[in-house]
Chains A and B, each alone.
Chain A
């Protein structure tokens, strides 16, 4: 499975691609789209996504996608054409210093100078991308190396790298210490992140949570690592996390972090983060640099979460925490996620309906902004690899191509991109890819005609001075445009329904609550790419919210 786009510097590879019976190639409409597709493919399968593009602009167009994958630890192998070795450095046509540009956003990269090293480089690239802490690897491949022939080609079967040996097994002494700390705790909390999704350690997390009565909160990227329908589930924590998760984090006396990296969206003000856990934080992570980076850890365990939890489960004794669970349940009752219940079409309602109609069995991808947070709040994820979102980089335009990549990997699943009207326009050209490859991705645009998340910050922290966030025409109080444009220019563009149709996809606009569920059902039945445009309340805010750099105490609950 390869996603990509051709050009002069990769003609030789493309000459072979279309003769190959083994490689399925998907031609995208932009190299950024190709990288996000490969990323969506990787996040929903655990297999590395592969991208093939040309030199220069082809390569530079992949950078956002590589950075997105790098921040969220997604395995990709990106092969870029390069000008012939003889002219590298001469400002040759379509030359860019691709290895230089991509270095900070890849786990590793290669500039292949001779064909002899190619088999080893290819093997290493896939190995590095998908072992240890996964990440993108780039191979810069000059044209003359592509054209060279290699006598006695043999693809290495095994690989041994002296300088790269990830640790999978946890240190038994540390695991014993962890068990002791957990057994001593009276208010333990599990904090699960993308590492659990990645290593499919969800069953082990569930077993530990149930055996020792530990409530579980997850990061944005950890959604799906613990069934959100479970009584011990506290859902997402952090800046836009639930109040009960954040209260639990503040009150717990033992924190077990599993494959999560103490991101600032999660910790808020570091000095006030988990104040009762100064000597009782256990951190399981495959990457030593994640441990004690932001928060000093008591019991560091370097290893794969699935293996380490398995080791831990061999020795840890059952425990009951009735008071703690009662307290947590009380918070859940007192501070549920909520929004205004009335006749207006609100974005949260749309997400709830998506959950109901799909019975939680879809793969959900998101764009970035408010849509992303509502997708996290109002859809309950019960299985890993069913929620796909750009967390670390927050790349608008990610969700749609990622959905296409996920659909390629799971042709029989319902794949839905929960989108904002701003973000969707950043890679909307991939509608062509979805239509022509018969990939029935459903895009649910929560259209508030705003860059909503930015507008929310301007409302809350910049005195409602809305600057460059309105995606429509400027209007006076009476709703009349003030820009003097011709009358036939619509109040906002594009018309997403017509746009879908222009591409040969289906489109429908929804303005009333009653039409939401039927529209989703219609879209699912269509088995074609569909845009559902929901005209939602414009100035809805995402709550709860802990302002950047603040602590749980400054949490803004929202609805009174």
Chain B
């Protein structure tokens, strides 16, 4: 099963490679990884989306906790939380398709952030269901480039 693991770490050089090395060294799969500082500049948050059965996820959490630079590990999947991802899609367009694309973008409450004659660049923010759905729709027009941040998550309340 897919899990979203949120990990507070010390904001130091080398921490990212420790975490990445843990996953590669022990053969765990990372789907996405997103890192940035928190409200405290000395602390960063890593949001890791990974897969595995319960035993593997338990090991991943324990192994992360064991790293000296890791402050706190939370398995968000087990709790009430909100997830978001930002995706930029550069989609091919012609005079004929432009209006259709803009309409879909509006339905999804996404935005057009760049326009030229042959492409439109769309920015969409949402949970994975929403962004996947829009990406799927855009495919029929021809996606030229796709950039995703990977998911971030926060506990409710």
Which of A103, A111, A161 is the one whose CB lies under 8 Å from B21?
A103
The distance from the CB of B73 to the nearest CB of chain A, in whole angstroms, is 11
| Given A100-B17, A103-B17: A289 in contact with B70 (beta carbons within 8 A) | no
Tell me if A288 and B66 are in contact (CB < 8 A).
yes
CA distance A111 to B71 in the complex (A): 20
The answer, among B13, B55, B62, for a CB contact under 8 Å with A288, is B62
Contact assessment for B21 and A104 in the assembled complex, using a CB-CB cutoff below 8 Å: yes
Of all chain A residues, the one with the shortest Cβ separation from B66 is: A289
> Counting CB contacts under 8 A, is B106 at the interface?
no
Query: Is B10 an interface position by the 8 A CB rule?
Result: yes
| A296 CA to B18 CA, complexed, in Å | 27
Is A162 a contact partner of B71 (Cβ separation < 8 A)? yes
Q: Which of B25, B59, B68, B70 contacts A104 (CB 8 A)?
A: B25
Given contacts A104-B25, A163-B10, A163-B70, contact A289 B17 (CB under 8 A): no
Give B residues with C-beta under 8 Å from A.
10, 13-14, 17-18, 21, 25, 55, 58-59, 62-63, 65-66, 68-71
**Chain A residues, CB < 8 A from B62:** 288-289
Expressed in whole angstroms, the Cα–Cα distance for A104 and B21 within the complex equals: 7
Residues of A within 8 A of B (CB): 99-100, 103-104, 107-108, 111, 128, 161-164, 287-289, 292-293, 296
In the assembled complex, how far is the CB of residue A71 from the closest CB belonging to chain B, in whole angstroms? 13
User: Smallest CB-CB separation from B68: which chain A residue?
Assistant: A108
CA distance A292 to B25 in the complex (A): 19
- Are B55 and A292 interface neighbours, CB within 8 A? yes
Cβ–Cβ < 8 Å partners of A292 in chain B: 55, 58
19 new A-B pairs (CB below 8 Å) besides A162-B71, A163-B70?
A99-B14, A100-B17, A103-B14, A103-B18, A104-B21, A107-B68, A111-B13, A111-B14, A161-B68, A163-B10, A163-B68, A163-B69, A164-B68, A288-B65, A289-B62, A289-B63, A289-B66, A292-B55, A293-B59
Q: List 25 A-B contacts (CB under 8 A).
A: A99-B14, A100-B17, A103-B14, A103-B18, A103-B21, A104-B21, A104-B25, A108-B68, A111-B13, A111-B14, A128-B68, A161-B68, A162-B71, A163-B10, A163-B71, A164-B68, A288-B62, A288-B65, A289-B59, A289-B63, A289-B66, A292-B55, A292-B58, A293-B59, A296-B55
CB neighbours of B13 from chain A (8 A): 111
- 10 residue pairs, one from A and one from B, having the closest CB atoms: A289-B62, A108-B68, A288-B62, A164-B68, A163-B71, A104-B25, A289-B63, A103-B21, A289-B66, A104-B21
Q: Which residues of B contact A162 (CB under 8 A)?
A: 71
**What residues of chain B lie closer than 8 Å to A104, measured between beta carbons?**
21, 25
A123: shortest Cβ distance to chain B, in Å?
Answer: 14
Q: How far is the CB of A107 from chain B (nearest CB, A)?
A: 8
Contacts of A103 in B (CB 8 A): 14, 17-18, 21
- Alpha-carbon distance between A162 and B10 when the two chains are bound, in angstroms: 10
Nearest to B60 among chain A residues (CB) is: A289
Tell me the minimal C-beta distance from B66 to chain A in angstroms: 6
Q: How far is the CA of A288 from the CA of B64 in the complex (A)?
A: 11
User: How far, in angstroms, from A352 to B124 measured CA to CA in the complex?
Assistant: 75
Most buried by A among B18, B25, B62, B68: B68
Q: How far is the CA of A281 from the CA of B17 in the complex (A)?
A: 36
Smallest CB separation, B57 vs chain A (Å):
12
Name the B residues within 8 Å of A107 (CB-CB). 68
The smallest C-beta distance from B54 to any residue of chain A, in angstroms, reads 10
Please give, as numbers and ranges, the residues of chain B lying within 8 Å of A161 by CB-CB distance: 68
Q: Which residues of A contact B10 (CB under 8 A)?
A: 163
Q: Which B residue's beta carbon lies closest to that of A289?
A: B62
Taken together as a complex, chains A and B put the C-alpha atoms of A107 and B25 apart, in Å, by 14
